[in-house]
Amino acid sequence: MKAFIVPWLREADPRALAVVRLILFGYAWPGFRFGSKASFAEFEGVSWRPIGIPALLQVPLLSPAGLDIVGVLITFTTGFALLGFGYRLTAPLAAFLKLYASWVVQSSGKVNHGGLLFTLVLFVIAFSHAADAWAVDAFLRRRKGFPRPGPSAEYHWPVHFIALLCVTMYGAAGLTKLGVSGPEWALGDGLIIRLISHHFTHQPPTRLGVWLADYRLVCRVLASASLCLELASPLALWNRSVYRTVLPCLALLQLMIWLTLGVRFREMVATFACLLPWGALIARLDALRSTWVARERERLRAAT
């Protein structure tokens, strides 16, 4: 239990969380293109059927004009959240509006599981203190005389929560494979068939899959390894070494899925980018800057 809780209490630099905010809201910002969801409203009762928890809660589908307004609000709220302006209001609003817009699309015949995680990740960052650095809000607070915030667990838990969402998704995917297909999923020829058949039905960017498919044993080892990786991924929440091994391996798995099968879970790129060690990078840059400033001071002192 302690091993599960301790990582949530680690301290992090507010700028590291600001980077995560920039990545996520930068990806979520749709630009000034409005109304792309409004057209789904025309298909209500035909191909548009409400799904999931919003359907149970009887969340209504807005009219095309209402969805247009949602589109405009998403542009402005995600834009403001990206800049860290009025973050406490704009970021949660952006997360809820994106969730609603995503539900409108997902209720139209097909669920995009890759995008599902990203929708949830936005909620984590929206309810965090991600605008305490490199943000308009932070700038305004400093002008009012508030000090720069120091490292705190407030700036670490959101990243750990995102990692939890990520490994839970992979863990669930592994369990589902085992439940639906059993060990045959890893020990049979499923991966070989999939690697080849995707070249018939998709457009993988490389022929790596075709080449791999010639080696039955290698494919079985790869399938077993990927299934074990998925099943074991939640262990990353209990152990830092496992975390540092599992997360890069999951990112590599995702990359291989794209290279061999031609399936891009684009939102996962943004999600994995959040899990990079931004704090360590910022600390390294700080150290380099301090060294450079000290050296410059020394040089000026010597010159005068």
Nearer to other proteins among residue 23 and residue 166 (C-beta): 166
Nearest to 101 by CA among 79, 80, 71: 71
Nearer to other proteins among residue 18 and residue 166 (C-beta): 166
DSSP annotation of 12:
B
The distance in angstroms from the start CA to the end CA of the chain is 60
Contact string (CB under 8 A) for other proteins, positions 108-127, x = contact: xxxx-x--x--xx-------
Angle in degrees, CA 16, 21, 24, rounded to 5: 125
DSSP state string for 115-157? HHHHHHHHHHHHTS-TTSSSSHHHHHHHHTTPPPP--BGGGTH
Contact string (CB under 8 A) for other proteins, positions 177-206, x = contact: x-xxx--xx--x-x--xx-xx-xxx-----
Touching other proteins, residues 2-61 (CB under 8 A): 5, 8, 36-37, 39-40, 42-43, 46-47, 51-54, 56
175 binds other proteins (CB under 8 A): yes
Which stretches of the chain bind other proteins, using CB under 8 A?
Answer: 5, 8, 36-37, 39-40, 42-43, 46-47, 51-54, 56, 99, 102-103, 105-106, 108-111, 113, 116, 119-120, 157, 161, 164-165, 168-173, 175-177, 179-181, 184-185, 188, 190, 193-194, 196-197, 199-201, 210, 213-214, 234
